[in-house]
Amino acid sequence: MAMTGSTPCSSMSNHTKERVTMTKVTLENFYSNLIAQHEEREMRQRKLEKVMEEEGLKDEEKRLRRSAHARKETEFLRLKRTRLGLEDFESLKVIGRGAFGEVRLVQKKDTGHVYAMKILRKADMLEKEQGT
């Protein structure tokens, strides 16, 4: 592809420019969320240390509380990485249908919580994406 303009970007199609912008925004969001989550973990750790200091706990009790806190943080991070699928939910009722799919009332099997789940047909989504 020859560069006809003054910058390399001028030779890119609008579609490519849009994809580049979307990728940039996605990466920026990902890393800003990562930093925010890290800061939240540090804040929780500082809060724990402050509470333990105010309570005047002995070193052994502080060590036990830090260990319990670390286990909770680890479990929380593990839960965040868990990917959910249809097999994790029981469908209760279809509550709506639309151009891309349907909305169902579902119940999460492990917790029993009830949610509305939008189920999209991938083939329809791809077809409509290519049409624009």
In tens, the pLDDT along 45-73 reads 999 999 999 999 999 999 999 999 999 99
Computed over every residue of the chain, the mean pLDDT equals 89
Check which CATH number belongs to the domain holding 126 and give it. 3.30.200.20
Where residue 12 falls among pLDDT bands split at 50, 70, 90?
Answer: confident
Domain range for 94: 86-131
pTM of the model: 0.57
Res 97 pLDDT > 80: yes
- For residue 8, the model assigns a pLDDT of 58
What is the average per-residue pLDDT within 5-24? 82
Give the number of domains in the chain: 2
- For residue 7, the model assigns a pLDDT of 54
Q: Check whether 118 is labelled as a binding-site residue.
A: yes
Is 61 in the same domain as 90?
no
Do 106 and 117 form a contact (C-beta atoms < 8 A)? yes
- For residue 100, the model assigns a pLDDT of 78
Res 1 pLDDT > 50: no
Is 64 in the same domain as 101?
no
C-alpha distances in angstroms, 95 versus 23, 77, 88, 106, 122?
34, 33, 19, 10, 20
Distance CA 34, CA 29 (A): 8
Q: To the nearest whole percent, how much of the chain has pLDDT over 70? A: 90
Q: Which of 44, 65, 81 is at the close of a domain? A: 81
